Structures are given as structure tokens and as C-alpha cells.
Copies of this chain bind each other. A is one copy, B any other.
Amino acid sequence: MKKDNLIDVVMEKIKEKGGRVTIQRLAIINVLLKLDHPTAEEIYQFMRNEFPTLSFTTVYNTLHSLHEMGILREYRFGEASRFEMAETNHHHFLCQKCGGMKDIEDSNITVHLDEKLSRHYHILNTEVVLKGLCQDCMGEGI
């Protein structure tokens, strides 16, 4: 999806949910498009130069409200939460050494759920988490 178009979609979704389109929200969306699974701290530090008046609390508030609106996803692997746009479904690889989190395209993994699972759970999302060593960390042990 083209970036400007995606921003429009996000703005629309915010309005749908009765939220307000603020420069802080739009700015954070733009940062999420640039950084790879950033933490709240990483987002804040990245924005400080261009946006010195931004409050760290606003970063948390915004990430939380955008998450509630279904606009982004939150992952709580590592010690700090990491965020990304909720666009497409995909899987993740977690490096046990450096803590890195890499996207794995949906097409690279096939998952089949036994149909009896849906009798016990209302499943909204299926995601595979691979753990191991990334290319940078290979050949050094854990």
C-alpha cells in the first residue's frame, strides 16, 4: 500500500472509532513505518529532535490507543513491548542471543489447526514464533 494512502486509511479508522486525528498520532504512525518493531523508548528517542515538545507519556498513550483501535500490534517478548502496524499477517523469528525480532512472510509457513480447536476457542489470530539464532549471531553459541 502506498504510504500516503495508508495514512489516509489510518486517519479514517481513527475517526471511525470516534478518536481525534492529532499530529502526535500521525507522527508516531510515520515512525512505525520507518523503524523495525520499535519499543516506546525507541520511538520517543527517534522523535525527540524533530518533535522536542513530545512527551514520553504521549508515546505510551498513543501506542495504547492506536492498539485499542486495531491500528497496531503490540508484542511483549523481551523486557519492553515492541510495536508494529497491524496491516498484514505475518510470523516472527526471535533471536535468543541478540533479542532481535524479524518478520517471516506468511507464505513461508503453513499452519493447519485441527477443527476441534474452534470448539474450545474463538480464534482471532494465528501466529508462529520461531526461536533460534539469527544470521549475525550464528556460530557463537548461545
Contact = CB atoms under 8 A, between A and B. Distances in A.
A130 B89 CA distance: 13
Interface stretch (A2-10, A28-36, A41-49, A116-124): A116-124
A64 to B, nearest CB: 13
A16 interface: no
Contact of A76 (B77, B104, B122): B77
Main secondary structure of the interface of A (DSSP, over half): strand
Interface in A84-142: 93, 96, 102, 104, 107-114, 116-117, 120-135, 138
A132 B128 contact: no
A123 B93 CA distance: 9
Interface of A: 76-79, 93, 96, 102, 104, 107-114, 116-117, 120-135, 138
